[in-house]
Amino acid sequence: MEKYLLYINGEFRESGDKQTFSAVNPATEEVIAEVSKATVEDARDAADAARNAFDSGVWSDLPREERSRILKQVVDKINENAKRLTELEVMDSGSTIKKAGEDVFLSAKSLNYYSKMAAADLNEDVEGLSKAGVSKNIIRREPIGVCALITPWNFPLKMAIWKLGPALAAGNTVILKPAMETSVTACELARLINETDMPKGVVNIITGAGSVIGTELVKNLKVDKVGFTGSTEVGKIIMKNAADNLKKLTLECGGKSANIVLDDADIDMSVDGAIYAGFYHQGQCCEGGTRLLVSEKIYDEFVDKLKNKIRKMTIGDPMDKKTDVGPVINKKQFDSVMNYIKIGKEEGAEILTGGNKAGDKGYYIEPTVFINAGNNMRISQEEIFGPVVTLIKFKDDDDAVKIANDSIYGLGGAVWSGNDERALKVANRLRTGTVWINEYHLLSDRAPFGGYKQSGIGREFGLDGLKEYTEAKHIHIDEIKDRTKKFWYGTVVPKD
Ligand code: NAP
Ligand code: MG
């Protein structure tokens, strides 16, 4: 059986106490690999390695083009190994092969974007004030330093790349800590990076418990920034633990996004869209359309078609290209989702379809839709993170906006309508980081992604995402032409 090691300072090694944990396939409940379980000491070593690499300038002082070239080598390695990475992702996470294949493709694409951004000159010259009238003002975008990157289990490779790309493009050094549930592709990535010209210590990848090594990285004074994707609950803990040296934070947390179907929407398309929004990756998507808001004017037809379509979905082996619905990640998540289904029934909502375990092996749950639900119910307010959608009826556009915004979260959401102008008016009023119109889930390398409210702090992707990994420095150069100049203590005095 494959055994994965920690990757610290360009070397592969076992954890300090030689402990490992098992990588489990959620479709079969079988162990697929053993993974090293890092100790607090190992996490400190990784932070030291990243600190030394940053301070030595082996990465941050490289010419931009050189950093770009090395990142492109990583892109090429991912593409060359796409099949293997996809299959491992399926086995480790229960993702359908269709989704995993796309994740690997999009990971390479996103890193390719940031490899190009690495070569871009983000520094600017701006106008400034000077008594002599001659000053030059430079804004430099410098790396922050050492970044700890902590990722969840739903899009393992993609989440790792979303963070590695901008952090490395900006010149930082990093320690990546993937979720224990899905560490395998991050470990494979360490092997691929080790085959490139990446200098030692720039990328460190350690596996193990978030409560142990994650906490150490978040508190470690050698770490300057934490980039985190995961639950809002852990995001809050990280924010508190990161306070001692005032670490910079990017937090991508939970969501309960509203997927709004207006009365003029194309019903067949929006039914397909609602299934895609709610059940993509078994609903284990932070931006998923888990609150489905449907106009009362089209409600009956919509609900009927939705039920029929969902019942035709193929639940089964995620390695099979025909499979639409794979297992949820593990037993704990399975129990939690089944408990929410129980809560929904107790709250008085009614099951339109689904609601049961599927198959006898693996953590499969039928795609489930609740109807006759209120937005105040727990199944409408809490993130279930499984194949459960709550359908809520609304009267008019104002009502839809009001319900959509009545949430502690604000990550994604969509509007389905035959009229772009009307949809845009609704989209503009939603307090959320991304709104799709007649689409769902699709992100752009160039457009920011992130949350309002308790869905997070900061943005990933595009220039905004890159800037999250930089410090802005202003350098003011005053030309010494006039040696008699007076310094500017201020000249504007309010009149009596
Ligand atoms: P999680 O439990 O919050 O864990 C996320 C990561 O944080 C894991 O690597 C975890 O380690 C680590 N961690 C746990 N406790 C920690 C601590 N005290 N200090 C530092 N790190 C710690 O989330 P998850 O269950 O993996 O993922 C599901 C959640 O992620 C959902 O809430 C979902 O909405 C959110 N999510 C958000 C986005 C987004 O972009 N907004 C994207 C995907 C997922 P271990 O689990 O390995 O111990
Ligand atoms: Mg696994």
Tens-place pLDDT, residues 77-87: 999 999 999 99
Nearest CA to ligand 1 atom 38: 286
Nearest CA to ligand 1 atom 39: 252
How much distance in Å is there from the Cα of 11 to the middle of ligand 1? 26
Nearest CA to ligand 1 atom 12: 210
Give yes or no for residue 229 CB within 6 A of ligand 1.
yes
Is there a catalytic annotation at residue 253?
no
**Is residue 328 pLDDT above 80, yes or no?**
yes
Tens-place pLDDT, residues 404-462: 999 999 999 999 999 999 999 999 999 999 999 999 999 999 999 999 999 999 999 99
**Ligand 1 test: best mutation among 35, 206, 223, 229, most atoms within 8 Å of CB?**
229
pLDDT value of position 479: 75
Which domains does the chain carry? 2-253+451-475 (3.40.605.10), 258-437 (3.40.309.10)
pLDDT value of position 493: 86
**Is residue 485 pLDDT above 90, yes or no?**
no
Which ligand does the CA of 178 lie closest to?
1
pLDDT, the chain, mean: 96
pTM, to two decimals: 0.97
How much distance in Å is there from the Cα of 263 to the middle of ligand 1? 37
pLDDT value of position 133: 64
Among 91-105, 265-279, 477-491, the range scoring the smallest mean pLDDT is 477-491
Average pLDDT over residues 328-332: 97
- Say how far apart CA 444 and CA 439 lie, in whole Å: 13
How much distance in Å is there from the Cα of 178 to the middle of ligand 1? 9
How much distance in Å is there from the Cα of 25 to the middle of ligand 2? 5
**Is residue 126 pLDDT above 90, yes or no?**
no
How much distance in Å is there from the Cα of 406 to the middle of ligand 2? 35
**Ligand 1 test: best mutation among 150, 441, 455, most atoms within 8 Å of CB?**
150
Q: Pick the catalytic residue: 181, 188, 286, 460? A: 286
Give yes or no for residue 213 CB within 6 A of ligand 1.
no
Is there a catalytic annotation at residue 29?
no
Give yes or no for residue 106 CB within 6 A of ligand 1.
no
Give yes or no for residue 294 CB within 6 A of ligand 1.
no
The ligand 1 atom at the shortest distance from the C-alpha of residue 235 is: 3
How much distance in Å is there from the Cα of 412 to the middle of ligand 1? 18
Residues surrounding ion ligand 2 at CB below 5 Å: 23-24, 92
The ligand 1 atom at the shortest distance from the C-alpha of residue 181 is: 47
Nearest CA to ligand 1 atom 23: 230
Task: Supply 58's token pair.
Answer: 């082996």
Give yes or no for residue 154 CB within 6 A of ligand 1.
yes
Percent of the chain with pLDDT over 90: 93
Nearest CA to ligand 1 atom 31: 231
Give yes or no for residue 56 CB within 6 A of ligand 1.
no
pLDDT value of position 130: 66
**Is residue 225 pLDDT above 70, yes or no?**
yes
**Ligand 1 test: best mutation among 161, 206, 286, 330, most atoms within 8 Å of CB?**
286
Among 46-50, 121-125, 331-335, the range scoring the smallest mean pLDDT is 121-125
